[in-house]
Structure 1
Amino acid sequence: MMCQECQERPATLHFTKIVNGEKTEFHLCEVCAQERGEMFPGGMNNFSIHHLLSGLLNNAEPNVNTFKVQQEAPLRCDTCGLTYSQFSKSGRFGCSNCYKAFGEKLDPLFRRVHGNTHHSGKVPERSGGTIKLKKEVSELKEEMRNRIEREEFEEAAKIRDRIRELEQQIADL
């Protein structure tokens, strides 16, 4: 797609502006976008996923009482010493342990961004039937082991029967 402004260069910036309920789409090259002032502050090269994440972190808890936050000890990673406030500004962890150290604060962020706090995966439609059934069987086997350890044998037997049904369905496919 060519730039709507100059019709000379390919459009590299595509965005939608909504002003007073009126939607307008723009397809501009970088030069024309800079001339019109439609670029991100500081230019496109300064925008990154870290800036986006940082913005989300800063708004993660809008109703937090700032006086209360100042009185609490800052949340800090034991391994690298990074504080949560430093992480929220940069959007980057200092080490692999930061994920565990800031875990309680990250769950609301993940829930807002991804809609959930754990990855459930994505299965292709064509081969999805068998894969989904095998995954369910594996989860049920784990649940059955847990029930047996807790000596809930009646529930374990029901799960065993369900596993047999699913394994028969897999064999029939």
Structure 2
Amino acid sequence: MLCQNCNQREANVHITKIINGVKQELHLCEECARENNEFNIDIMNPFNFASPMSFQNILEGFFEMMGSPYQIPEPVTCPVCHQSFDDFKRTGKMGCANCYRTFNAEITPIIKRVHGNIQHTGKVPKRTGGILKIKRDIERLKEELRVAVMNEEYEKAAKLRDQIKELESKLDK
């Protein structure tokens, strides 16, 4: 296929652009693609992280999609590293560990939307995960207890209460 711009060289850059549901395909040679500033493509360095499809730009898109209810009325900065939330939005990186506490209300909805949950639910090593497993079991049992009480299953609720107390005593040791 020949380049749609110069009609001389072989087209080896294929660009599909969709704007308002209208699909536009463009087949260009390397030289014409490099000269075409509309797409901002660096053929010589395809892994250029300053390109328009960077992680930071994707994060900015999430923030723009969220709209006004999530915007911060005044610039909040981390008391430790003095990074602002706007700095985080621009770079996609936290300045320090304290930033997670400072910007917790702003980043929690984003993390929940991206990952589906805000707590780790994966595997835990057996050697170091004993306490974490007990805590998760307690949380699960408390939820079962709440449901049992709502359904007026008091015998089941008493058994669950005893199991919770037993696990909590293990945690205290």
Corresponding residue for 2:140?
143
Corresponding residue for 1:40?
40
Larger RCO of the pair (alpha carbons < 8 Å, separation 6+)? 1
Corresponding residue for 1:118?
118
Corresponding residue for 1:7?
10
Corresponding residue for 1:109?
110
2:56 and 2:89 in contact (8 A); partners too: no
Unaligned runs of 5+ in 1: 124-136, 161-173
Q: How far did 1:80 drift?
A: 0.9
Post-superposition CA distance 1:80-130 (Å, at most 9, x none): 111112222332211122122111011233344x1634266689xxxxxxx
Give me the whole-angstrom Cα distance separating, in 1, the residues matched to 2:23 and 2:83: 42
Corresponding residue for 2:166?
none
Identity rate, percent? 27
Unaligned runs of 5+ in 2: 4-8, 124-133, 146-153, 163-173
Give me the whole-angstrom Cα distance separating, in 1, the residues matched to 2:119 and 2:15: 30
TM, length-normalised to structure 1: 0.50
Give me the whole-angstrom Cα distance separating, in 2, the residues matched to 1:159 and 1:28: 69
Post-superposition CA distance 1:119-169 (Å, at most 9, x none): 66689xxxxxxxxxxxxx99546533786xxxx873263699xxxxxxxxx
Corresponding residue for 2:58?
52
Decide which structure has greater helix share.
1
> What is the identity, as a one-letter code, of the residue corresponding to 2:157?
E
1:77 and 1:83 in contact (8 A); partners too: yes
Q: Over aligned residues, Cα RMSD in angstroms?
A: 4.6
Give me the whole-angstrom Cα distance separating, in 2, the residues matched to 1:8 and 1:29: 4
TM, length-normalised to structure 2: 0.50
* DSSP 3-state at the match of 1:23: strand
Give me the whole-angstrom Cα distance separating, in 1, the residues matched to 2:15 and 2:159: 57
After superposition, where does 1:54-93 map in structure 2 within 5 Å?
Answer: 54-57=60-63, 59=64, 61-63=66-68, 69=73, 72=74, 74-93=75-94
Give me the whole-angstrom Cα distance separating, in 2, the residues matched to 1:122 and 1:16: 38
